[in-house]
A and B are shown apart, each in its own frame.
Chain A
């Protein structure tokens, strides 16, 4: 934000950066090869629903759009305790590209409707042989990714997260500021 914006108190909501999402399929392959974490085929988009008719119209359009696609599994919609909406898509475990395409369709519909700034993050779920969950979180406003490895009792496995950062450094733009790796406890589809 510029000096003049601060002086006049006119911050605008930040537009999202959508294109970086398409780096996810190759990152999934790297993660599989390097750390034996496999995609679960579940991905979710998290956004802050705005009040009013305009937003709910777009939300309905998105659900219909995804449900009509080749992938017939319905899209789940849920709201978390912070009032954010999660749209969860399920695909076959090996179809990361199809999943990312669906997630991107959600983003672009919201953005086309003028609600791009409402997008918070997208999470792609992974799991290793032992069943440990791992999420790759994409922050729309930063255009960066970070790993999130929740453990029981709202703790996170920082060692694993840093290890993932090392493994994916070449594939994804990892968020350099660790204080921005905010936790998403209880994210649906993780």
Chain B
């Protein structure tokens, strides 16, 4: 077997694995905590709390599955994108054709969004129904080499099944958020088990209150973990995309162009684009790139500096004369 130049990044893989493990741990803790709460209060009218939890889980799964199943349609509608045929966009299709042949992947559908902000995203629940969407702004801004880098990055998202992974990862957060909300409303409007028995009035408050507290804590932790996971997925996609085309510098220059442009965009467009952020090539809301601190902890994408540093490293690995 011929040797390979494509070193994988065990550190990145380990960190991603650890993040997923922690998410699983939080999920387990969540279930156990709820179990204890209901077990403790179960004998004293905790039924309404249990009902809430089951209801929140069902709705959460439905929401997440719906988002997963119709991810392509939702994203395309939000971006007001239309699918294009090879005749309508021969250049774009040509680039994607070649990336597919290089990567041995089925060809995704191609869409163009009439947004002036330069960006791209990939979505769809499987590689068979995947869509790659680029904005008009991106097509105007980047030269073919850079465009190829961006498209290779998006194709890596498809190959890594990022829509499915992030759906499963965000499920916990959705359920926890729903539970908090339901508990809050049931308290506010006095629904559920209240008023059925004499003692319930005393007990309903703590059950719902504790469920709410657990939900808030789980939501906060899972939110941070999901964002962390999202940043790792972006780094992975950068890495795979750069290795696929053999041109990490082209991807780096596209990143600089795209993120540099972000700052100068009217706020209205930014707000419209926000729901799509997780699947975008670069986030639309990136106020101060590279600043350490809270904003980094909450962002869906790694800082520009981190992404460029990784691409530099790959470029050096590729260019090493003999290894």
Which chain A residues have a beta carbon within 8 Å of chain B's beta carbons?
Answer: 1, 6-15, 48-55, 57, 81-84, 111-112, 114-118, 120-121, 139, 141-142, 154, 177, 179-180, 182-183, 185
- 8 A-B pairs whose Cβ atoms sit less than 8 Å apart in the complex: A48-B102, A48-B245, A50-B247, A52-B319, A54-B322, A82-B94, A182-B101, A183-B94
B90, CB-defined interface residue at 8 Å: yes
Which chain B residues have a beta carbon within 8 Å of chain A's beta carbons?
Answer: 1-6, 8-9, 13, 16-17, 20, 90, 94-95, 97-98, 100-104, 106-107, 144-145, 148, 156, 159-162, 165, 232-233, 236-237, 240, 243-250, 315-316, 318-323
C-alpha gap A82/B151 in the complex (Å): 13
Chain B facing A: main interface SS: helix
C-alpha gap A141/B102 in the complex (Å): 7
C-alpha gap A1/B161 in the complex (Å): 11
A-B CB pair tally, cutoff 8 Å = 139
C-alpha gap A182/B20 in the complex (Å): 38
Q: A115-B5, A116-B2 are in contact. Are A48 and B156 (CB under 8 A)?
A: no
* CB neighbours of B101 from chain A (8 A): 120-121, 139, 141, 180, 182
CB of B139, distance to nearest CB on chain A (Å): 15
Assess the B104–A142 pair: CB atoms within 8 A.
Answer: yes
The 6 closest A-B pairs by CB, nearest first: A52-B319, A50-B246, A9-B236, A114-B5, A141-B104, A182-B97
Assess the A9–B16 pair: CB atoms within 8 A.
Answer: yes
Assess the B148–A82 pair: CB atoms within 8 A.
Answer: yes
* CB neighbours of A13 from chain B (8 A): 4, 6, 102-103, 243-244
* CB neighbours of A139 from chain B (8 A): 101
Assess the B318–A52 pair: CB atoms within 8 A.
Answer: yes
Assess the A179–B2 pair: CB atoms within 8 A.
Answer: no
Assess the A114–B148 pair: CB atoms within 8 A.
Answer: no
Which among A13, A15, A120, A177 has the highest number of chain B CB atoms within 10 Å? Answer: A13
Assess the A182–B98 pair: CB atoms within 8 A.
Answer: yes
Assess the A112–B159 pair: CB atoms within 8 A.
Answer: no
* CB neighbours of B233 from chain A (8 A): 9
Residue of A nearest to B98 (CB): A82
Assess the A8–B104 pair: CB atoms within 8 A.
Answer: no
Assess the B159–A11 pair: CB atoms within 8 A.
Answer: yes
Partner of A51, one of B9, B95, B318, B323: B318
Assess the B97–A111 pair: CB atoms within 8 A.
Answer: no
Assess the A57–B321 pair: CB atoms within 8 A.
Answer: yes
Partner of B161, one of A6, A10, A57, A141: A6
Instruction: Other than A51-B315, A111-B2, give 17 A-B pairs with Cβ distance below 8 A.
Output: A6-B160, A7-B165, A9-B165, A9-B232, A9-B233, A11-B159, A13-B103, A15-B2, A15-B4, A48-B102, A49-B246, A112-B3, A114-B4, A116-B2, A120-B101, A182-B100, A182-B107
* CB neighbours of B98 from chain A (8 A): 48, 82, 84, 120, 182
C-alpha gap A119/B161 in the complex (Å): 25
CB of A9, distance to nearest CB on chain B (Å): 3
* CB neighbours of B243 from chain A (8 A): 12-13, 117
C-alpha gap A111/B101 in the complex (Å): 17
* CB neighbours of A115 from chain B (8 A): 5, 246
Partner of A11, one of B97, B106, B160, B245: B160
